[in-house]
Structure 1
Amino acid sequence: MQLDRAKYLYDIQHAGDLLAEFVQGRSWQDYEANAMLRAAVERQFEIIGEAIAQLAKRDTELVERISEYRNVIAFRNVLIHGYAQVDDRLVWDVVQTRLPLLRQQIGELLRAG
């Protein structure tokens, strides 16, 4: 794997790990009540989405091994460009339901080299 592709995967993995750390032991009520936590979570999703978008420009075969990669990029775009209408419940749902699979897939891609 070329170095730039590995770097994007590492960036995704690192942001995913931070997301998991940020929300560990937290509830929806904690998330809703904490503006700093919400901002931190959104920022890591922005990083993930941007890294996947850059990866898609460089290696379509690799990025297609990430399920729903187009949705991840679209989610990043909503967070960046539609920031005034971000649905906190949707962000929380993505953390809870989609982040674990993404982290697993990225780990597998990094291990496969």
Structure 2
Amino acid sequence: MRRDELYLVDMIEAAAAATTFVRDVDETAFAASDLIQSAVLQKLLVIGEAAGRVSPEIRARWPGVPGRSVTDFRNIAVHTYFEVDWSIVWRIATTALRELQEQLTMLLKAEFPLVASQLDQPH
């Protein structure tokens, strides 16, 4: 089984990528682009899957970090893909992901400082 810090890094990197995908587009352009929609949704699915695998111990120590809601979104998106509300995906990508990324980075720095320090390093 993977370690918690790896799931946290997956979530941070996916949030950063999804935020980058929508950086220079407005909601109309997002709604018109299957490519951007698909890319953002895929990153949200990664976040949801990883969130569901973080240990109960970490979730208990960090109750303010979204877990269940992210996992629930992932399950809904996977099982009802053709009914995805793209306006919700847009709002998540343009507002919620920045905050999530900040929360997860704070968590990673507190729980796994060595891993957090490596996250800022170029690959």
Task: Please give the TM-score of this superposition, normalised by the length of structure 2.
Answer: 0.82
Quote the sequence identity (%).
Answer: 28
Choose 1 or 2 for highest CA Rg.
Answer: 2
Gaps of 5+ in 1: none
User: Which aligned segments of 4 or more residues in structure 1 are displaced greater than 6 angstroms?
Assistant: none
Gaps of 5+ in 2: 113-123
Q: Distance in 2 between matches of 1:49 and 1:58?
A: 18
Instruction: Within 5 Å, give how 1:1-113 maps onto structure 2.
Output: 4-56=3-55, 59-62=58-61, 64-66=63-65, 68-112=66-110, 113=112
Task: Please give the TM-score of this superposition, normalised by the length of structure 1.
Answer: 0.89
Q: In structure 2, the residue corresponding to 1:25 is in which secondary structure?
A: coil
Q: Distance in 2 between matches of 1:94 and 1:28?
A: 12
Q: Distance in 1 between matches of 2:56 and 2:78?
A: 19
Q: Distance in 1 between matches of 2:105 and 2:54?
A: 15
1:5–1:94 Cα change, 3 Å? same
The one-letter code sitting in structure 2 at the alignment partner of 1:94 is: I
Q: CA RMSD in A?
A: 1.6
* Number of aligned residue pairs: 110
